[in-house]
A and B are shown apart, each in its own frame.
Chain A
Amino acid sequence: MKYLNKSISAKALVSALLTGALFLPSMANAFFNKTQESTTLKITASSELKDLESLVKAANPNLNLQFTYTGTLDALDTLDSVSGSSADVLWLARSSYLGAYPKAAKKVILSDKTMTSPLVLAVKPQTYDKYFSSHTKLTWADVAKIVSQNSIGYAMSDPASSNSGYSALLALAYSASAKAESITYKDVNQEVLKKFFKNLRLSAASSGDLAQDFFSASNTSADILINYESVILSHNRKNPASALKIIYPHEGIITADYPIMLVNPKQKEAFYALRDNLRSQDTQNKITQSTLRRPLNNAVRRETSSLFPKQLLIEVPFDFNAELSEELLSGYYNTLKTPASFAFVLDTSGSMKGARWSALQNTMQEILKPSAASFSSIRNREQFFLIPFSSQVYAIQFFDAANNKQLAGQSALDIMTQLSPTGGTALYSAAAEALKSLSEQRKRNVAQGKVDYRYSVILLTDGEANEGIDSSTFLEFAKNPNYASIPVHTIKFGDASVSQIQTISGATGGKVFDASTQSLNYVFKQIRAQQ
């Protein structure tokens, strides 16, 4: 009897273990499935793609997608730098720029297009009816002429940071040149461009931000928005009462084709999975229906053809050779674009000691040093004030780069290095002094026949106002018509009070920039892109 029991239990043991052995692989499968399901993919995307985030996440439940948004060219700048990008994947409006970023180009392992949207001019209906409706086959040069002759304000993003801005600049250059293809800077009629850029009223470092600013209630000066067809069509669909009319420039189209690019070789499989999903018929259909971008998939294209105009769009031959782009951008900032006359209002209170002070000094070096080559650097024809403040506003120094850009930058830097952080924070007084200085400078400029400047203030503080005038005094002060059209852009730095800086920016039409999640250098670059 005894051994019978033993044998039964031995058999039971055997069967239990064998059964367990059969189940274990699927348990192992489940374990590894779980790890696979949570593959994290970090994506840096052009800012206007924010409208796709939830759709793409929902369509790819097996991937943990983390999106960061930026201007197209800024993303390539980052990839090109020594430290490179922390992203696994870039999803940008265009990748043709890689020709001018050789280090970045080497890091792109795979690249595939996902969807398209042409760059267009979108005009407020009254403006369109008055100035554009009687014309057909408007080229960029035609539009530029009408805009200049009638002083129509428009919004365009910064060409050094953003694809839509650069594309517009390039398309306009082609339109304003005698040759049809392969132009050089010499071929471009600069007068046409100069007159056009006088009417730039709104700028931003990325297409998405620009659209937001254009459509916000604070936009009172720009009637035309240069942006992607998808952004305009989406706005029009949601807001039929304020729908914009679209101009597709004749033989002047540049289409964003949204390549998705792998830069981290370890993420190949996740990349393929995402790419294949984005190009699948189902996701293509969802993308087109919800964001009005043109699909790659043929079947979806046939089904959604009624959403887009039928006309043939002729592309500008897109040239991003380094030489032309450098000359175009340099020309844009130094010769063509209306120059900035602005103020640096800088908090030098005691709390700025240490890391904050180093960051500020570093950033000002980047902008002011004579050998600087970045697009935040001081440009020819600019004027600027240096207004350091703590318990009070100290001497207000003025610099005119038109005389000597290097000298202006160096002189300002010399002052910066002599400053040291100490004292309280007369925040509102400093903002008020800046408005006053720029207003007076504006009068002086006009008296000298120098009418073309864009005025603004860049204000950095790391704490709350505790000296000088208070907020209600400032608000009263800012109402003075002399201070109109001088936005104060503020930077959230250190322990700055968000409500206080929002008060200042809100009262003057400026924007608040967040330096707690971005480097100070990058924040200044974004602000300079707006000026």
Chain B
Amino acid sequence: MLQYSHFTRRKSMSRLVIVGVCAATVMAAVGWGIYSKKDTPSTSLLGTSNLKVIRGIITSEKESFFRDPQLAQVLQEAGFKVEYERWGSSKIANMKNTSELGQFSDFVFPPGVQTSDNVKKNIPTSQVYNVFYSPMVIATWEPIVDILQKSNLVKTHPTHKTLDMTAFFKLSSNKVKWKDLPGSGAYPVNKNVLIYTSELSSSNAAKMYVALSSYIYNNSDVVQNYEQVNKVTPSVSRLLAAQGHKEASSTNLLADYTAIGMGKAPMIFSYESELIEYAVKNSGLADSMSLLYPSPSIFTKHSMVNFTPAGAELTRQLQENPKIKDIAAKYGFRFAGNNALPALASSYKINVASQLVDVIDPPSYDVLEDLIKNVQASVKN
């Protein structure tokens, strides 16, 4: 008798427990279904509920990289997920404290170490790390390179060609027209010989162009003080004013180059990484696209600014995870001390420089900002 009633009691309790467990499982499953639908289109039922979400600000030239599904996969395997918002680089530089970031407060990842340094200046507790870099290039066309070669502006190196910036800027300053250059039959155009840039107020690439031209106009020396800023401002401003309308971002300028071609964009100032990304996506550059490296050269160093341990985690992943290095290479990003990129690039049918000598540094953040302000004021008039 005792056995029976004992058994019965246990049975009904077990039944309750079983029902409870089932109900809980069901609810968890539905809950997971809702969660996974909102965030990721395809995640397996099990194993993704422990992903650590890292949130921060990036800029346009890195967006495709951060949207790469392989990157998401690799990060997921390491236990992370990145969510981002896209800002212009000037907005990042002018940050005063992390509350401006809203929920995207683990890191900012601007182009240009000057920007990162300025953020650190305003927010001393932040940590700055170099992650990857990209040389600035001039994306142009074979017929244009031919013409410039005839005027002795182009030097051929084993892996790449360089453009003599001092001589080139002289042509621009003197308002020489393409049709006036010797042997310009393939581009006999009544327009000034110019390199086109994106908009200075919103694009870091344009700032690098100002940095490079300021060096040339400062007798091949980095601009260091206000007196030198004043000296170079008129010449640098003329280079920008002569272009007329500019695209807001380097990405859109590249789209002009790739979509409309030589008739619109004979020479544009761009990140090497964006050209590599284009080649990877399109199985090589388009017919007759050609790259020139400015001589002297100038790099953009993409450095991350971390505000939290989560941000630091992401930096560590980007710097150390070999799978991520491979993915970053598809977007053209070079890692210091690692010269794997040129070989990888040539497998995507784009030839990039294996080594660049004659690299200059941009002016310090404050001097560069002064210069940019002056140039912008001058261009308006």
Contact = CB atoms under 8 A, between A and B. Distances in A.
Interface of A: 3, 6-7, 10, 13-14, 17-18, 20-22, 24-29, 31-33, 36, 96, 99, 110-113, 115-116, 180-182, 251, 253, 255, 257, 272, 294, 296-299, 301-302, 312-315, 317-321
B14 A10 contact: yes
B259 A320 contact: no
Interface stretch (B23-31, B211-219, B224-232, B295-303): B23-31
B371 to A, nearest CB: 22
Nearest to B287: A302
A25 B25 contact: no
Contacts of A32: 33-34, 37
B245 A29 contact: no
A20 B19 CA distance: 12
B265 to A, nearest CB: 8
Contacts of B252: 111, 113
B22 interface: yes
Nearest to B282: A298
B286 interface: yes
Interface of B: 7-8, 11, 14-15, 18-19, 22-23, 25-26, 29-30, 32-34, 37, 45, 67, 86, 177, 187, 189-192, 241-245, 252, 255-256, 258-260, 262-264, 282-284, 286-287
A296 B245 contact: no
Contacts of A99: 245
A251 B26 CA distance: 68
Contacts of A115: 259
27 contacts: A3-B7, A6-B11, A10-B11, A10-B14, A10-B18, A13-B19, A24-B26, A25-B30, A25-B33, A25-B45, A27-B33, A29-B33, A32-B33, A36-B37, A110-B86, A111-B252, A112-B255, A180-B177, A182-B244, A255-B264, A257-B256, A298-B282, A299-B283, A313-B263, A314-B189, A318-B244, A318-B245
B26 A17 contact: yes
Given A21-B25, A314-B189, A318-B245, A14 B255 contact: no
B283 to A, nearest CB: 7
Given A111-B252, A320-B245, A17 B19 contact: yes
B176 to A, nearest CB: 12
A296 B18 CA distance: 60
Contacts of B26: 17, 20-21, 24
Contact of B259 (A20, A257, A302): A257
Contact of A7 (B11, B32, B177, B283): B11
Given A180-B177, A298-B282, A315 B30 contact: no
The 3 closest A-B pairs by CB, nearest first: A28-B33, A17-B22, A32-B37
A298 B288 CA distance: 12
A320 B241 CA distance: 14
A14 B29 contact: no
Contact of A257 (B11, B34, B192, B260): B260
B283 A181 contact: no
A299 B349 CA distance: 14
B189 A28 contact: no
A319 B32 CA distance: 53
A257 B11 CA distance: 73
B67, B258, B263 pick with most chain A CB within 10 angstroms: B263
B34 A312 contact: no
B129 to A, nearest CB: 28
Given A299-B283, A313-B263, 20 more contacts: A10-B18, A13-B19, A17-B26, A20-B22, A21-B25, A24-B29, A24-B33, A25-B29, A26-B33, A27-B33, A28-B29, A33-B37, A180-B192, A251-B189, A296-B255, A298-B283, A302-B287, A312-B263, A314-B189, A318-B245
A521 B299 CA distance: 54
B11, B18, B25, B259 pick with most chain A CB within 10 angstroms: B259
Contacts of A7: 11
Nearest to B8: A3
Contacts of B7: 3
Contacts of B18: 10, 13-14, 17
A77 to B, nearest CB: 20
A321 B23 CA distance: 65
A313 B67 CA distance: 35
A73 B282 CA distance: 33
B29 A312 contact: no
Nearest to B194: A181
Nearest to B255: A113
A24 B45 CA distance: 11
Given A298-B282, A319-B245, A28 B11 contact: no
Contact of B260 (A111, A116, A302): A116
A25 B32 contact: yes
Given A10-B14, A298-B286, A314 B191 contact: yes
B19, B37, B242 pick with most chain A CB within 10 angstroms: B37
Given A32-B33, A299-B283, A14 B22 contact: yes
A181 B192 contact: yes
B355 to A, nearest CB: 29
A206 to B, nearest CB: 23
A115 B255 CA distance: 10
Contact of B245 (A10, A31, A321): A321
B12 to A, nearest CB: 9
Contacts of B22: 14, 17-18, 20-21
A205 to B, nearest CB: 24
B91 to A, nearest CB: 12
B242 A181 contact: yes
B244 A317 contact: yes
B366 to A, nearest CB: 28
Contacts of A251: 189-191
A503 to B, nearest CB: 47
A18 B22 CA distance: 6
A181 B244 contact: yes
B245 A116 contact: no
A242 to B, nearest CB: 29
A257 B177 CA distance: 26
B259 A113 contact: yes
Contact of B244 (A3, A17, A253, A319): A319
A257 B257 CA distance: 11
Contacts of A20: 22, 26
